[in-house]
Structure 1
């Protein structure tokens, strides 16, 4: 009996020592060190893809202005260069910084004519000096808000396959996807061509099953978000070379979708249509 008790005591002591060692490893780094390490990791990841990143950007929390595709290249620890699908403006370089906060905070801290257009109040974006070639030539959004974009983002994921952030005001998700080397020379032109092609469409309707649902633009000037009767929130999307990429999964008449691909004109669809892979829903531009 004494031997059994002795063995049990040794086992408990060994377990206690093992747990203490694990706890020591967990708490070897203090929170400040861990946060600083995550900041360094974000800096490294941003610069890791020399061909840059495709940025899915929806500036307003209400999504009424829809989404835009930006192209960002982090040249070094300080400089970032932006281009966009919404404008033919030449690449614009400004600065950025990553600082510790609730997590790593990415801040675009000096003015970039492309990126910060979304954060300009309407008072400024109605001024030709701030407008973007190929985009709008009039005020968009309220005088004091504009398109409700922002400068500061909480980085929630940073890896080679994607970077995910949240706007610190809007809480909108912003996703960075790496540009592949074999598409780097053509990707921007392909997105701009998609905008030129699809932006011309209007008078949309959703077809789901045997029912049809007329859709109007949440903001007629941008034509990147749709409203249908009975839904207060817009169906916000970006233009892509294959069709429309929506901010989140949406539902029309019980049919869920996140991406709709364009089908060229055929039969009764004189302007073509957008559909999901299962072809259970169509978004049809009118004449």
Structure 2
């Protein structure tokens, strides 16, 4: 080593040595890390409890946004209570549980005790979604930002962004959720045409999603857009970008019965198939199952009589919009998961997934599956659909394709199954 390099190294070593011997050092941050974390949690809590009428949470379960968004109302108290209401239950219903703020690389809001309303979205056997998974919703959220005007959360499991804004003090919770229910009742159709820049895209509604399929460069492309219902229309998680446009929100025009924004319209596409999927639930009765269906119904009732003596099948319904077959026995409801597929404008297929809630599986195993088999099985059962009125149907005649002996008439008027020997 030459002398010049040696002297340079000595100078550096001495410099570091002098720095290490300095009696005082200055921190770039005020307080300890523990102090800073505690302050962040306190500030987040101050914001949560600051909304006098609670928060409106735009909640999206499912990492794939399969079910769209839901309006959740949440009111937080200083002592760790949270009261919840939502548009998945009756507008008057509320449930109170506990919440907590904790540190995990930033403030995390967790709903750490069971809340019968909020935890429905994470319930593994809710009747929506696969058994063991349910809707796949979050109950722990990273607080991305918080102010008295807006809190932005991110689901720890799904990664979905959840926006919360204070609910107006002049609006009661029940009134707000009632307005959501009234607005959603207008979106009763299963198919729509999305019109933009002279183009039309046919979309299918499932839960709170719109699915559009079209051909691009010779290949079929499907895009799904999740939305949340608002009192005035539809608000999308990500904008609809079909036809060269970009639309984040559509408002309902009652005069024209369309949802629209500048240069864009979402128009109900009414066909026999869409009427079946959009209306309902559809009630089946023993007398209207036809001779073919009655054979299966008789077998079902014969088997179920052993499991449920002195009880009968009170109601049997098809709910395409909810994706379920419902059976009521002795006042208890059981659900089987159902897929409804549009074959063409006049034809639909019904398929059981093999999933259901615990009571639905119990009923099926007890023999009531036989009552379902004439209209839905594990392989698709395909029907021609004939409503009595395309605009305001009360009855629909279903005729199985390839089996004209299987004719079933269903109604959207609440009607008991009415089994009789």
Offset from partner CA, 1:190-220 (integer Å, 9 cap, x none): 222222333x222111111211101113xx3
Higher strand share: 2
Alpha-carbon shift at residue 65 of structure 1 (Å) = 0.5
Alpha-carbon shift at residue 70 of structure 1 (Å) = 0.7
2:224 aligned to which of 234, 239, 244: 234
Higher relative contact order (CA 8 A, sep 6+): 1
* Structure 1 residues 57-68: aligned runs within 5 Å: 57-68=59-70
1:35 partner SS: helix
2:227 partner SS: strand
Task: Give me the whole-angstrom Cα distance separating, in 1, the residues matched to 2:267 and 2:247.
Answer: 15
Question: Does structure 2 conserve the Cα–Cα contact (< 8 Å) formed by 1:86 and 1:192?
Answer: no
1:110 aligned to which of 74, 88, 113: 113
Q: Report the TM-score when normalising by structure 2.
A: 0.54
Q: Report the TM-score when normalising by structure 1.
A: 0.78
1:63 partner SS: coil
The worse-fitting range, judged by mean Cα deviation, of 23-32 and 112-121 is: 23-32
Question: Does structure 1 conserve the Cα–Cα contact (< 8 Å) formed by 2:56 and 2:167?
Answer: yes
Q: Which residue of 1 aligns with 2:140?
A: 152
Q: Which residue of 1 aligns with 2:358?
A: none
Aligned Cα root-mean-square deviation (Å): 1.7
Task: Give me the whole-angstrom Cα distance separating, in 2, the residues matched to 1:265 and 1:114.
Answer: 35
The worse-fitting range, judged by mean Cα deviation, of 27-36 and 204-213 is: 27-36
Task: Give me the whole-angstrom Cα distance separating, in 2, the residues matched to 1:80 and 1:119.
Answer: 17
Task: Give me the whole-angstrom Cα distance separating, in 2, the residues matched to 1:98 and 1:118.
Answer: 20
Q: 1:25 to 1:275 in 2, by over 3 A?
A: farther
Q: Which residue of 2 aligns with 1:51?
A: 53
Task: Give me the whole-angstrom Cα distance separating, in 2, the residues matched to 1:212 and 1:154.
Answer: 40
Q: Is it true that 1:213 corresponds to 2:201 in the alignment?
A: yes
Task: Give me the whole-angstrom Cα distance separating, in 2, the residues matched to 1:202 and 1:232.
Answer: 16
2:31 partner SS: coil
Q: Is it true that 1:250 corresponds to 2:250 in the alignment?
A: no
Task: Give me the whole-angstrom Cα distance separating, in 1, the residues matched to 2:148 and 2:121.
Answer: 27
1:177 partner SS: strand
Question: Does structure 2 conserve the Cα–Cα contact (< 8 Å) formed by 1:96 and 1:110?
Answer: yes
Question: Does structure 1 conserve the Cα–Cα contact (< 8 Å) formed by 2:213 and 2:223?
Answer: no
Alpha-carbon shift at residue 78 of structure 1 (Å) = 1.1
Any stretches of 5+ residues in structure 1 without a counterpart?
1-22, 126-138, 267-271
The worse-fitting range, judged by mean Cα deviation, of 47-56 and 69-78 is: 69-78
State the aligned residue count.
238
1:260 aligned to which of 250, 258, 261: 250
1:113 partner SS: coil
Any stretches of 5+ residues in structure 2 without a counterpart?
1-24, 215-220, 271-421
Task: Give me the whole-angstrom Cα distance separating, in 2, the residues matched to 1:101 and 1:233.
Answer: 35
Alpha-carbon shift at residue 24 of structure 1 (Å) = 4.3
Q: Which residue of 1 aligns with 2:260?
A: 275
Q: Which residue of 1 aligns with 2:158?
A: 170
Task: Give me the whole-angstrom Cα distance separating, in 1, the residues matched to 2:186 and 2:80.
Answer: 36
Q: Is it true that 1:179 corresponds to 2:163 in the alignment?
A: no
Question: Does structure 1 conserve the Cα–Cα contact (< 8 Å) formed by 2:155 and 2:161?
Answer: yes
Q: Which residue of 1 aligns with 2:103?
A: 100
TM superposition outliers: structure 1 runs of 4+ over 6 Å: none
1:214 partner SS: strand
Task: Give me the whole-angstrom Cα distance separating, in 2, the residues matched to 1:76 and 1:190.
Answer: 30
